[in-house]
Structure 1
């Protein structure tokens, strides 16, 4: 490893890993604008189901390889072959599940449309299973920029394939092959960056040393993903239909998905960094509070802009037919502001060896969440979004209390971390509300004006309320 400081590596890693996500969101926006809502509803439904299979496929071994200090080549090779076996088995099981569902319910239009999209996308399961192990090699060395470049290149290659197929008239299959291409290109890029190949040897003893931690992490991740995706896997698409699923998917895609992806990115960057200093609570506290301040300072202003200009955004994407997603969009933005600052909690649990805490809390959360969603679905996608907003408050409060116990963080110091971001966001909100109320423009013009005014307000607010923090962040990025 180079002599860069831990802070520099973490900050640069977090910065670079946003590129691939940005490309992905732009391409998805193009798909939403051109393809019909029903097809996009089925596509997002398939994506969410396959994410659950991917969670199982990696068995938490990637995090176990990062967590344990004394791992050898045989540990990585054994984990690789285990994940490949599990990934292939899950792929076969997913394909076979179509026949089981047909036997149970018959070949309904929903089942047929879902599997027409999901079956080719199931190739992602074994690919994602093994790419997690290759990422772990790079993450152990804090080579986050290598991971980020691989992700950005993969997103760009996938974008060219997806948009090319869309222009050629492939319809929803262009989105399907965009997703598959991205995973193939990502695995190839990671492999090149890691310059690693698994040996043909396999040690059950080495694998067993990783499995307890891996099972805890995998179980917590799986339950967390079930918890996060119940609305998109069952309640909305099955009980409300594919059009509602498409509307809800858009609202979720541009509020919660960036935060969920950011959570994965931050865990990848911060968990290895926190693991290095896991026994030093003072350093952990400083790193944790700086991280949540940075997240709030970056995400809250953007989210409040989306809240204020939600109507214009929806009209621009697809016209009047999208306005049914306005209330869910705004409710999910409020939930997202809370979830954004809670993304680092998992990294603290993992670094402190408390993956079981995350698992248990997620299980409790799931028990409460299911009946709440059954209540919310009576009110359509508005009710589902309202349940998610309330759940975000509960989740943040409980998990933050647990984190405070782990790293000896006072609640007053926790809230102090948000003074700068809160004042910055409030300043921007006042400016945007004033401009929006004083003008009567078309959606494109209103959004462009909002971006300009919001950007200027952000620059002034940061200078007034968070200048010292931003300067320290910049020094870390430059390695000073």
Structure 2
């Protein structure tokens, strides 16, 4: 098995191992905790996510994009991250009372002050994880991620069972960061030199700054709806949204993030060859779409029995939220490959420019959707996701040469094969008034039809995925 395939396999193990543990812990914790607990943690996570974006500062991507980074480069970023994370934590600490007042939930004051510690812990592992990714050592990354998640989950479930409530979720985040740091230090025995170079920082910042701005805009717009929902509605509604978004996001992003993680270093290697870039982007996007599109359709069909089975009846109100969010998970396949390809060729300034335009449009949609309540916000997210994906396709066409005609010719067959059985089954369910108790059976029938049609029409992506699975089992 080639180095690339091995990297994909271990990235797959890393992501799905972590997702599986998160999924299992979520099932257990949802039975022990209340929607309000998830709502409280969801309200403050936007501040942690945004702060973590600044800690990386785009320097991780800049170090991977740079051909031969030196020890001086790595050491400079290591010390900068520590300094900057401490500053961010101080800001969060003193802003915590105002954030709690904004949400009208005093508990958030102490929650944010404690949870903010993860910023400092995470800053210590940025260089370690970047070095492993640059060397395509995803086996070590997988071990670090899965083991740290497993240990944290065990402790969290114990704390939740013993009545710690929302604090168990806070401690879980801290423990994941601590265990990850220790394992990255074990697998990547790199020690920073006692050197700091403003020249190195400036050089990496020139590329990383626009990566930072793009990441900041992405994370802000991906989490702004949580900020709005938390402010405008109750913590219970926020909890329902948080749980729905988590399940939908993990379902769609789990596969996509595996590919994104491995694809960036690969795209960097062929950044001067547009034909090779086009080939990789096509394979990544189409293979992802072939998997994610039917998965999201399946989840839409089985949403109600799935939510009740996993989280019990007390979470049933999040079913419509979940179904809508599944629709926004489909176009995610076009975002990672296009984002990484533009970054790989060094066009970070262009990325930032278009990200700014895309995110202004998305935020406008979300604030407009607020007029129609929570559902208006959710549908605005769906529309925004598809528009952003189309813009990404246009960028790839203009910068890489993979024109829109080719892109649509590649994806339309998959879209038709995925949507036709779905519409047929919904039509049959409506005509014959099939009760919801048979939703799971309908979902299974849908998947069977999807793969049978793909096999009959000799869809290329089915063969590609079959080859990858065969090579894994042969190994």
TM-score (norm 2): 0.90
1:245-288 Cα deviation digits (max 9, x unpaired) = 11111221111355456555433311111001111111111111
Corresponding residue for residue 14 of structure 2: 17
Distance 1:109 1:62 in 2: 33
The 5 A counterparts of 1:211-250 are 211-232=205-226, 234-250=227-243
Q: Does 1:134 align with 2:128?
A: yes
- Matching residue of 2:357: 364
Q: Does 1:473 align with 2:468?
A: yes
1:155-186 CA-to-partner distances (Å, cap 9, x unmatched) read 11111111121222222222221121111111
Change (3 A) 1:397 1:452: closer
Equivalent in the alignment of 1:307 = 300
Contact 2:21 2:150 (C-alpha < 8 Å) held by counterparts:
yes
1:47 matched to which residue of 2? 45
In structure 2, the residue matched to 1:256 is 249
Distance verdict in 2 for CA 1:441–1:380, change over 3 Å: closer
Separation in structure 2 between the aligned mates of residue 34 and residue 378 of structure 1, nearest angstrom: 34
Rounded Cα–Cα distance in structure 2 between residues aligned with 1:282 and 1:473 = 23
Cα pair 1:87 1:129 within 8 Å, conserved: yes
Q: Secondary structure at the match of 1:255?
A: helix
Residue 457 of structure 1, CA deviation: 4.5
Mapped to 2, the partners of 1:120 and 1:263 lie a distance apart of 32
Q: Distance in 2 between matches of 1:33 and 1:341?
A: 35
Which of 452, 458, 463 matches 2:455?
463
Q: Which moved further from structure 2: 157-166 or 465-474? A: 465-474
What does residue 326 of structure 2 align with? 333
Considering only aligned residues, what root-mean-square deviation do their CA atoms show, in Å? 2.7
What CA distance in whole angstroms lies between the structure 2 residues aligned with 1:45 and 1:263? 26
Deviation string, structure 1 residues 210-265 (Cα, Å, up to 9, x no partner): 11111111111011111111101x21000112111111112211113554565554
* 2: CA distance, partners of 1:230 / 1:455: 34
Distance apart, 1:408 and its partner CA: 0.8
Q: Are 1:36 and 2:34 counterparts?
A: yes
Of 264-273 and 7-16, deviating more is 7-16
- Which of residues 145, 151, 154 in structure 2 aligns to 1:157? 151
| Correspondent of 1:7 among 4, 7, 11 | 4
State the SS of the aligned residue for 2:336. coil
More displaced 10-residue stretch of structure 1: 175-184 or 30-39: 30-39
Contact 2:307 2:319 in 1 (8 A): yes
How many residues get paired?
A: 469
User: 2:388 aligns to what?
Assistant: 395
Residues 376, 384 of structure 1: 8 Å contact kept: yes
CA distance in structure 2 between the aligned counterparts of 1:221 and 1:189, rounded to whole angstroms: 26
Deviation, structure 1 residue 316: 3.1
Contact 2:39 2:240 in 1 (8 A): yes
Structure-2 separation of matches of 1:6 and 1:405:
30
Q: 1:348, CA displacement in angstroms?
A: 0.8
C-alpha contact (below 8 Å) 2:289/2:333 kept by paired residues: yes
> What is the CA-CA distance between 1:111 and the residue it aligns to?
4.1
Question: Using the alignment, how far apart are the partners of 1:117 and 1:474 within structure 2?
Answer: 44
In structure 2, relative to structure 1, the CA distance for the partners of 1:99 and 1:110 (3 Å cut) is closer
1:171 pairs with one of 144, 147, 165: 165
CA contact (8 A) 2:46 2:220 kept: no
The Cα of 1:424 is off from its aligned counterpart by 5.0
Q: Which residue does 1:384 correspond to in 2?
A: 377
Q: 1:134, 1:261 → 2: CA distance?
A: 22
Q: 2:287, 2:353 → 1: CA distance?
A: 28
Distance 1:477 1:341 in 2: 26
Q: What secondary structure does 2:377 align onto? A: helix
Give the distance between the partners of 1:409 and 1:109, measured in 2 at CA: 46
Alignment partner, residue 67 of structure 1: 65
Deviates more, 1:423-432 or 1:33-42: 423-432
Give 1:334 shift: 1.1
